[in-house]
């Protein structure tokens, strides 16, 4: 005797109830893996890898464990400050690189103002240009034209791509000096952490062929440098202790260079600003945390400037975290020091 139709249907439903969990399990597992993967291995919508682990909120949560009273730095544009976002300054293949511009509104078309290019940190791997927005806004509110720059990080392109990008941004700014009211003879560069290493390297290597692009050729000179807690040598004992430590596989610097110091020593030397600083270098301001590892090479760098009669200055925040520039009570005194130094050295 054949089974009733409803019996077949019941059996079919039961079979599907048994099969569905097996079908769903791989999908659920894949979703969990993607969620648990470090952000460094995710891809952003444009199709290039992005590590978003270094951001203000994460840095704040970490720093607040030791500094309970800190607050995230915020600066609003003044009534006369113009903000232009997402300006494309370079295209490499399909990849468009952007900067955000902050500038005082001017009724006189012939006014030319000093400009500051700001380079974010994040271990040459993470971070984005918005990290420098409080400092950019603070300086723009005080009469500077400022630009926060996006550059390619180590997951997307190894050294020296990021250096070339930053230099290309300088060329872009100089090409548009009249449009944005920029004085091309008064351009400074400021960076934080790994961005400070980049900014200092860019500042002491005008015209160096290995970093040159068609956009930057003859347009990459700098009149002042501000280094916020970035190393200026990768090869001092202090730098090698941290960036070439055996347990780091690789370190942030090693990932950027594509090898440990013993593998590609020429790149570690080539990317060290200390290798180039001398009589033709710009005045340099260092604002440091109380973390000595981020001062690697600083004293030797300053000694060479001093020997050449070039201005330098150091401000140190005692008992402070490495990314102090993101937080009060350190941001405002740092920003004031930056503005004073630039006004004195870019007259």
What confidence tens digit (pLDDT) does each residue in 162-190 have? 999 999 999 999 999 999 999 999 999 99
CATH number of the domain encompassing residue 119: 3.40.50.1820
- Average pLDDT (135-150) is 98
Determine the pLDDT at residue 109.
74
241 and 190 within one domain: yes
282 and 210 within one domain: yes
- Average pLDDT (149-174) is 98
Tokens, residue 300: 């030797």
176 and 67 within one domain: yes
Determine the pLDDT at residue 107.
64
- Residue 42 within a domain: no
- Residue 47 within a domain: no
Whether pTM > 0.85 for this model: the answer is yes
60 and 30 within one domain: no
- Residue 43 within a domain: no
Determine the pLDDT at residue 108.
75
The angle, 0 to 180 degrees and rounded to 10, between the axes of the packed helices 194-203 and 161-175 is: 60
- Average pLDDT (77-97) is 97
24 and 97 within one domain: no
Spatial neighbors of 287 by CB under 8 A, at least 6 apart, are 226, 227, 228, 229, 314, 315, 316, 317, 325, 334, 337, 338
- Average pLDDT (251-263) is 97
Peptide bond into 244 cis (omega under 30): no
- Residue 44 within a domain: no
156 and 17 within one domain: no
Determine the pLDDT at residue 35.
43
Q: Is the pLDDT of residue 55 over 80?
A: yes
Q: Is the pLDDT of residue 96 over 80?
A: yes
Structural domain span for residue 309 = 56-345
26 and 121 within one domain: no
- Average pLDDT (191-211) is 98
- Residue 49 within a domain: no
Higher pLDDT among residues 147 and 2, named by residue: 147
306 and 246 within one domain: yes
Which of these ranges, 218-232, 237-251, 272-286, has the smallest mean pLDDT? 237-251
Determine the pLDDT at residue 47.
86
64 and 30 within one domain: no
| Residue with the two structure tokens 């952490």 | 193
Burial of 35 (0-12, 13-18, 19+ CB in 10 A): exposed
- Average pLDDT (260-264) is 97
Q: Is the pLDDT of residue 145 over 90?
A: yes
- Residue 41 within a domain: no
Q: pLDDT tens for residues 287-337? A: 999 999 999 999 999 999 999 999 999 999 999 999 999 999 999 999 999
- Residue 204 within a domain: yes
Vertex 86 angle, CA 140 and 61, to 5°: 75
Higher pLDDT among residues 106 and 132, named by residue: 132
- Residue 99 within a domain: yes
311 within 8 A of 264, measured Cβ to Cβ = no
119 and 19 within one domain: no
Average pLDDT, the chain: 90
19 and 92 within one domain: no
84 and 13 within one domain: no
Q: Is the pLDDT of residue 258 over 60?
A: yes
């Amino acid at each position: 005797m054949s089974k009733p139709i409803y019996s077949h249907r019941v059996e079919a439903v039961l079979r599907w109830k048994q099969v569905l969990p097996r079908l769903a399990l791989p999908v659920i597992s894949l979703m969990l893996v993607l969620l648990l993967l470090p952000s460094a291995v995710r891809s952003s919508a444009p199709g290039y890898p992005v590590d978003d682990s270094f951001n203000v909120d994460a840095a704040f949560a970490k720093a607040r464990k030791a500094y309970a009273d800190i607050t995230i730095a915020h600066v609003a544009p003044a009534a006369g400050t113009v903000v232009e976002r997402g300006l494309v300054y370079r295209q490499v293949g399909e990849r468009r690189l952007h900067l955000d511009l902050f500038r005082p509104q001017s009724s006189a078309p012939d006014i030319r103002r000093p400009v500051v290019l700001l380079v974010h940190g994040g271990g040459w791997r993470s971070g984005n240009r918005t990290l420098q927005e409080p400092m950019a806004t603070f300086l723009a509110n005080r009469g500077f034209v400022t630009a926060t720059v996006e550059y390619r990080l180590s997951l997307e392109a190894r050294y020296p791509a990021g250096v070339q990008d930053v230099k290309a941004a300088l060329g872009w700014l100089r090409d548009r000096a009249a449009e944005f009211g920029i004085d091309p003879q008064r351009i400074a560069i400021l960076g934080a952490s790994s961005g400070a290493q980049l900014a200092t390297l860019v500042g002491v290597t005008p015209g160096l062929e290995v970093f040159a692009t068609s956009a930057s050729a003859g347009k990459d000179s700098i009149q002042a440098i501000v280094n916020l807690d970035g190393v200026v040598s990768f090869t001092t004992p202090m730098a090698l202790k941290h960036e070439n430590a055996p347990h780091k596989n690789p370190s942030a610097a090693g990932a950027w260079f594509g090898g440990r110091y013993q593998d590609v020593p020429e790149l570690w030397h080539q990317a060290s600003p200390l290798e180039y600083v001398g009589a033709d270098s710009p005045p340099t301001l260092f604002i440091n945390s109380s973390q000595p590892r981020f001062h690697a090479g600083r004293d030797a760098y300053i000694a060479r400037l001093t020997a050449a009669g070039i201005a330098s200055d150091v401000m140190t925040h005692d008992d402070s975290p490495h990314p102090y520039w993101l937080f009060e009570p350190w941001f405002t005194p740092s920003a004031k020091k930056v503005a004073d130094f630039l006004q004195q050295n870019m007259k």
